Amino acid sequence: MLHEDRVVMTGISIEFSPAAGRWVAVCDDPAGEERLIVHAETRERAERLLHERWRARLEGLDHEAEEDR
């Protein structure tokens, strides 16, 4: 089981994309495989969506680890 209190979100960047007219939030994938990317109309929503996606990815990794046992 991954202990979320020990796993921290890294490589965080939240910037406004003038070309897209939206906020783009990115961070490192907890498994180190890719970058997690979200697009939203406000900075706050982009932050929230990124956090939700990161937590869901962490929970998915935890579930995969349990299945492997």
Residue of 5 and 8 predicted with greater confidence? 8
Domains observed in the chain: 13-68 (1.20.5)
H/E element holding 44? helix 43-68
**What are residue 38's DSSP bridge partners?**
25
CA pair distance 44, 61, nearest whole angstrom: 26
Whether the Cβ atoms of residue 2 and residue 30 lie closer than 8 Å to each other = yes
Claim: this prediction has a pTM higher than 0.85:
no
Q: 57 pLDDT exceeds 60?
A: yes
- DSSP-assigned letter for residue 41: S
Q: What is the pLDDT of residues 16-33, one digit of tens each?
A: 999 999 999 999 998 888
